[in-house]
C-alpha cells in the first residue's frame, strides 16, 4: 500500500477513535446506519459495496473510494467486479468521473496486489 493510502487509513482510524471517545451520538447513529445499510438483505453486502464504489467515484470522495473498495474486496468482490463498478461510475459521471477513477485504480492496485512471498 502506498504512503498516501496508509496515511488516509490512519486519519480515518484516528477520526473514528476520536468521535467515539467524544461519545458522539450522531457518529454512533451513523455507524448504526452504515451497519444496517450494508448488511446482507435482498442485495448481498458485496453488491452494496460495489454500488458504494461507483457512487464514491462519481462524487469524488477518495476516502470513500478507498474504504468501499477495501470493503468490497473483503466481502468477496473480485478486481474485475470492482473495475466494472468504476466503469459504471464513469458512464454515469462522464469526464469528471473518468478523472476521479484514477484514484480508484490506485486503490485497486493496492488492494488486489499479489501477496509478497517474503
**Does this model's pTM top 0.85?**
yes
Whether 116 maps to a domain, the answer reads no
- The Cα–Cα gap between 92 and 22 comes to 38
The backbone torsions φ and ψ at residue 23, rounded to the nearest 5 degrees and listed phi first, read 55, 50
For residue 18, give the CATH number of its domain.
1.20.1290.10
Residue 2: pLDDT band (50, 70, 90) is: confident
Which contacts qualify for 10-17: CB closer than 8 Å, 24 or more apart? 11/63, 12/63, 12/67
Nearest in space to 56 (alpha carbons), one of 5, 118, 107, 109: 107
- Tens-place pLDDT, residues 36-65: 999 999 999 999 999 999 999 999 999 999
Q: Tell me the residue range of the domain where 76 lies.
A: 3-111
Span 82-91, average pLDDT: 98
Whether 118 maps to a domain, the answer reads no
User: The C-alpha cell of 11 is what?
Assistant: 486519519
| pLDDT of residue 1 exceeding 80 | no
> 74 with 50: CB under 8 angstroms?
no
- The Cα–Cα gap between 100 and 59 comes to 8
Number of domains in the chain: 1
User: The C-alpha cell of 50 is what?
Assistant: 460495489
Amino acid at each position: 500500500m502506498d504512503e498516501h493510502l496508509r496515511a488516509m487509513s490512519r486519519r480515518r482510524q484516528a477520526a473514528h477513535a476520536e468521535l467515539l471517545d467524544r461519545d458522539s451520538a450522531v457518529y454512533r447513529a451513523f455507524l448504526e446506519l452504515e451497519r444496517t445499510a450494508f448488511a446482507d438483505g435482498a442485495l448481498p453486502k458485496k453488491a452494496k459495496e460495489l454500488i458504494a464504489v461507483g457512487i464514491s467515484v462519481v462524487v469524488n470522495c477518495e476516502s470513500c473510494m478507498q474504504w468501499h473498495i477495501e470493503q468490497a474486496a473483503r466481502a468477496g468482490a473480485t478486481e474485475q467486479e470492482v473495475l466494472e463498478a468504476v466503469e459504471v461510475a464513469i458512464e454515469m459521471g462522464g469526464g469528471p468521473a473518468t478523472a476521479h477513477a484514477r484514484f480508484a485504480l490506485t486503490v485497486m492496485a493496492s488492494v488486489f496486489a499479489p501477496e509478497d512471498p517474503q
